[in-house]
Amino acid sequence: MSNLADLQLTKSGELRHFLTPEGLDRLMLERILDTADSFVVVGNQEVKKVPLLRGRTVVNLFFENSTRTRSTFELAAKRLSADVLTLDIKTSATSKGESLLDTLQNLRAMHSDMFVVRHGDSGAAHFIASQVTPDVAIINAGDGRHAHPTQAMLDMLTIRRNKGHFESLSVAIVGDILHSRVARDQIHALKTLGCSDIRLVGPNTLMPQAIDSMGVTTHNNMDSGIDGVDVVIMLRLQTERMDSAFLPSAGEYFRLYGLTTERLAQAKPDAIVMHPGPINRGIEIESAVADGPQSMILNQVGYGIALRMAVMSMAMSGQMQQRQAQANTPSSLTGKLRP
Amino acid sequence: MSIIIRGARLIDPSKQLDQVTDLHIKDSHIQAIGNLTGVRAASDIDAKGMILSPSFVDLHTCLRDLNQIQKGTIASETQAAASAGFTHLCPSPDTQPCSDAGSVISMIKNKVAAAGFCDLLPVAALTKDLKGTQLSNMESLSRAGCIGFSNASYDISDNTVLLRCYEYAATFGLKVFVQAQDQQLGDGHMHAGPTATRMGLDGIPVVAETLSISRHLQFMQHTGVSGHFNQLTSAAGVALIRQAKAQGINITADVGIAHLCFTDTAIEGYRSQYHVQPPLRAESDRKALLAGIKDGTLDAICSAHQPHESAAKCAPFAATATGMAIYDMLVPLIQGLVAAEDLTWALAIQALSSNSATIALGKTTSLAIGEEANLTLIDPSHPWTLNSSSQLSRGTNQALANQQLKARVKLTIKGGLTSYIM
């Protein structure tokens, strides 16, 4: 999707917004992973700070509740030495009737350099980057069912650090694909990075319409779905899915799609198990697997900070270059609404 | 007043007329058709290369005004309608306040009459406040000039209430207009397909339409009510209408121009200008809708004009208002279909004029000597750019804004008088 590339990249091809891996080429995704790799060590140092975002203002805008994503973004920004403002949306002006548009334009007027946005509507980050504040770097921290690119990329980082490559891997994504913003971005990223065997496993009620058009195979049967795979990615099952008739019961779901030690034996012996968290023990995964030797769940959390540091530093750098380039041209970017 | 339009291509499918010739209007009526060399009139229009047809009748539009003047006024939207070749409009009853009372209908009628651009053929609410619980005063509203009854985009989920709506309409021989979409299955933002899946937007499956069509057809067949389906969207929906007509059920159907021209892929990039209800569907559906126009399954093309202020479309996609401002784009969109050989001018004109008139007025409008002059003159090759200075609708939700377009209405005549001239 060239328009997605145009929106996310500067004219010279540097990242300036990170909305979704869709539209970005393999080289860019590998650069993100390489940069993240270099930040993994920062977390292990005694002084866990680098000065890359010193003097820059990062605003965390979480219109939806989040604990771990929000805290890892906050930590990532702080480790990059940015000034961080986390806006409590519940007490902000939006609850007094101010539109999203006006809230963002006011924050932009305060000379913010980056917005980290989580919003319940698909396309919210895209809307902000394309129409509201194109001169502020936008990092999508999850929009509706659409995308959660930093989660997907930290999953790619976890896979690469364990398997070294993507080409010959078989990856199964299991569970509530329908409501998952992570699964879509995982598919885009895996495909771009060279993985050709991506299997989605779940009942039809949790499978999006025409999902096979994304170049994946679908499996209703868990055993055949994870047979011989290198990576099993389990998705969180929201308990409210039982109330809204997507599933009959947690018990039946676990019996059919829960990841147990016995079932994991269907995958390759060195298969890794991942989960974006928070996990529901006994609903989508049994504790023996979640805490077992093949589980990468806690590693993912650590890599999450490094990955977020990587995209924040890259997007900030790209956005600064773009601003500089535009300042040097007669018609500078105003950030006004485009028609 | 006397007008001669010379050298236009006269198209009137109801009279099997497709001929380049002259037409003379005198005393509000068509005085003569043929070679009028030597005949003089107060107004003499050289219309070589242009198309002259019976004027258009819009079976579904929203004129806003009342409590929605930020979106459009009756004066602005009826003028925009006249500039698209329409002389008669059937506004949807989902006005604010709702068109469920004679007083509201009368207020709208007075405003339309005062503006003078179009005549009103109101469709009133089928149930009070469109809530699907109490019947509206259908007989009284019919006496007040309402040509039919609709619950607009609000499904009546209670089958008992719906049956009574049909029974009551049947009592007085009233027509029921239906926008067929199941309320629960229609609770999404675009067509359920690959694009919706990739963009993470809630999809509306085709079965939302077919289920509703089937349900209403059962009631129409049971009560004998004459029904009209507004804004079909899907191949499966067209197939159901075709089958019902073959069975002799007394129905007609239309399609919105946007559904003939655009598909769900237009939404790529969260383009809220293409956020419409019912949703734009797949290319195979668009082709089936065109086939439905060609074989007569779909009788008419409506505008489904829904103007909005800019703020209504400036939000994350799901939070934006649905609908497109169509009037300024309608004729260029038709021209695009003709250029792509998806339609002919004759088919488009039949669907916009004579067939729509038959559904709304109970009689066809035509290019025939002695008929009242209700005419649309189109220059199919006129180049222009749609922007805030060239558009007449107050709606800023113009999907083709700032684009170079081709074709424009040159002149609209309503009841022998000029209602729009470019």
Q: What is the pLDDT of residues B368-399, one digit of tens each?
A: 999 999 999 999 999 999 999 999 999 999 99
Residue A334 within any structural domain of the chain: no
Judged by phi (left if over 0) then psi (alpha if -120 to 50, else beta), residue A291 lies in alpha
Give the 3-state DSSP-derived string for chain A, with helices as H, strands as E and coil as C: CHHHHHHHECCCCCECCECCCCCCCHHHHHHHHHHHHHHHCHHHCCCCCCCCCCCCEEEEEECCCCCHHHHHHHHHHHHCCCEEEEEEHHHCHHHHCCCHHHHHHHHHHCCCCEEEEEECCCCHHHHHHHHHCCCCEEEEEEECCCECHHHHHHHHHHHHHHHCCCCCCEEEEECCCCCCHHHHHHHHHHHHCCCCEEEEECCHHHCCCCHHHHCCEEECCHHHHCCCCCEEEECCCCCHHHHCCCCCCHHHHHHHHCECHHHHCCCCCCCEEECCCCCCECCCECHHHHCCCCECHHHHHHHHHHHHHHHHHHHHHHHHHHHHHHHCCCCCCCCCCCC
Chain B environment of A7 (Cβ under 8 Å): 269
Bridge partners for B253 per DSSP: B229
Whether A289 and A153 map to the same domain: the answer is yes
Residue A62 within any structural domain of the chain: yes
Contact between chains at B193 and A210 (C-beta distance less than 8 A): yes
Residue A339 within any structural domain of the chain: no
Contact partners, residue B65, CB within 8 Å, separation at least 6: B72, B73, B74, B77, B95, B108, B111
Whether A185 and A274 map to the same domain: the answer is yes
Whether A183 and A309 map to the same domain: the answer is no
Q: Choose from B201, B270, B396, B397 for mutation: most chain A CBs within 10 A.
A: B270
Whether A289 and A315 map to the same domain: the answer is no
Q: Which residue in chain A is spatially nearest to B202 when comparing CA positions?
A: A145
Q: What is the pLDDT of residues A150-175, one digit of tens each?
A: 999 999 999 999 999 999 999 999 99
For B413, the token pair is 């005549």
Whether A90 and A119 map to the same domain: the answer is yes
> Exposed, middle or buried by CB within 10 Å (0-12, 13-18, 19+), for B48?
exposed
**DSSP secondary structure, B55-80, as one string:** PEEEEEE---BTTBTTT--HHHHHHH
What pTM value is reported for the model?
0.91
B401 in contact with A, Cβ within 8 Å:
yes
Contact between chains at A147 and B200 (C-beta distance less than 8 A): yes
* Average pLDDT in chain A: 90
Check residues A114 and A336 and name the one with the higher pLDDT: A114
- State how far residue B96 is from chain A, nearest Cα, in angstroms: 22
Contact between chains at A181 and B200 (C-beta distance less than 8 A): yes
Cα dihedral sign for A61, A65, A68, A71? positive
Chain A environment of B401 (Cβ under 8 Å): 339
In angstroms, the CA B243 to CA B79 distance is: 38
Residue A160: CB atoms within 10 Å: 18
Residue A338 within any structural domain of the chain: no
Whether A161 and A269 map to the same domain: the answer is yes
**Using CB atoms and an 8 Å cut-off, which of residues 310-339 of chain B contact chain A?**
310-311, 314-319
- State how far residue B325 is from chain A, nearest Cα, in angstroms: 14
CA atoms within 13 A on the CB side of B198: 21
Q: Choose from B199, B206, B391 for mutation: most chain A CBs within 10 A.
A: B199
Chain A, chain B: beta-carbon pairs less than 8 Å apart: 87
B192 in contact with A, Cβ within 8 Å:
yes
How many structural domains comprise chain A?
Answer: 2
- State how far residue A152 is from chain B, nearest Cα, in angstroms: 15
Mean pLDDT on B348-352? 98
- State how far residue B180 is from chain A, nearest Cα, in angstroms: 22
Is residue A95's pLDDT more than 90? no
Question: How far, in whole angstroms, is CA A261 from its chain's centroid?
Answer: 28
> Exposed, middle or buried by CB within 10 Å (0-12, 13-18, 19+), for B215?
middle
Contact between chains at A209 and B201 (C-beta distance less than 8 A): no
Chain A environment of B190 (Cβ under 8 Å): none
pLDDT of residue A45: 82
Residue A156 within any structural domain of the chain: yes
Mean pLDDT on B336-348? 97
Picking from B200, B205, B311, the nearest residue to A146 by CB comes out as: B200
Chain B environment of A131 (Cβ under 8 Å): 314
Whether A80 and A166 map to the same domain: the answer is no
Residue A158 within any structural domain of the chain: yes
Is residue A1's pLDDT more than 60? no
CATH number (domain holding residue A14): 3.40.50.1370
Check residues A101 and A332 and name the one with the higher pLDDT: A101
Whether A35 and A113 map to the same domain: the answer is yes
Mean pLDDT on A208-222? 95
Q: Which residue in chain A is spatially nearest to B318 when comparing CA positions?
A: A121
Picking from B198, B270, B402, the nearest residue to A214 by CB comes out as: B198
Contact between chains at A210 and B194 (C-beta distance less than 8 A): yes
Chain B environment of A23 (Cβ under 8 Å): none
Mean pLDDT on A229-252? 87
Q: B182 with B126: CB under 8 angstroms?
A: no
Q: What is the pLDDT of residues B10-68, one digit of tens each?
A: 999 999 999 999 999 999 999 999 999 999 999 999 999 999 999 999 999 999 988 89
Residue A195 within any structural domain of the chain: yes
Q: What is the pLDDT of residues A279-332, one digit of tens each?
A: 999 999 999 999 999 999 999 998 999 999 999 999 999 999 988 888 887 654
Whether A105 and A229 map to the same domain: the answer is no
Is residue A338's pLDDT more than 50? no
Q: What is the pLDDT of residues B291-339, one digit of tens each?
A: 999 999 999 999 999 999 999 999 999 999 999 999 999 999 999 999 9
pLDDT of residue A65: 82
Picking from B202, B205, B316, the nearest residue to A127 by CB comes out as: B316
Q: Choose from B274, B281, B309, B317 for mutation: most chain A CBs within 10 A.
A: B317
Contact between chains at B269 and A130 (C-beta distance less than 8 A): yes
Structural domain boundaries enclosing A226:
149-297
This model of the complex carries an ipTM of 0.87
- State how far residue A239 is from chain B, nearest Cα, in angstroms: 20
Contact between chains at B202 and A4 (C-beta distance less than 8 A): no
Q: What is the pLDDT of residues B221-271, one digit of tens each?
A: 999 999 999 999 999 999 999 999 999 999 999 999 999 999 999 999 999
Contact between chains at B317 and A181 (C-beta distance less than 8 A): no
In angstroms, the CA B97 to CA B205 distance is: 31
Residue A169 within any structural domain of the chain: yes
Contact between chains at B315 and A147 (C-beta distance less than 8 A): no
Picking from B194, B202, B315, the nearest residue to A213 by CB comes out as: B194
Question: How far, in whole angstroms, is CA B160 from its chain's centroid?
Answer: 30
Structural domains in chain B, sorted by start: 2-51+371-421 (2.30.40.10), 55-361 (3.20.20.140)
pLDDT of residue A333: 45
- State how far residue A184 is from chain B, nearest Cα, in angstroms: 7
Whether A228 and A153 map to the same domain: the answer is yes
pLDDT of residue A332: 46
Whether A139 and A115 map to the same domain: the answer is yes
Mean pLDDT on A220-245? 89
- State how far residue B206 is from chain A, nearest Cα, in angstroms: 12
Residue A61: CB atoms within 10 Å: 25
Q: Which residue in chain B is spatially nearest to A7 when comparing CA positions?
A: B269
B385 in contact with A, Cβ within 8 Å:
no
Q: What is the pLDDT of residues A5-56, one digit of tens each?
A: 999 999 999 999 999 999 999 999 999 999 999 999 887 888 888 999 999 9
Picking from B268, B310, B316, the nearest residue to A124 by CB comes out as: B316
Q: What is the pLDDT of residues B63-120, one digit of tens each?
A: 998 889 899 999 999 999 999 999 999 999 999 999 999 999 999 999 999 999 999 9
pLDDT of residue A334: 45
Whether A131 and A204 map to the same domain: the answer is no
- State how far residue B343 is from chain A, nearest Cα, in angstroms: 30
Contact between chains at A143 and B200 (C-beta distance less than 8 A): yes
Chain A environment of B319 (Cβ under 8 Å): 100, 121
Residue B412: CB atoms within 10 Å: 27
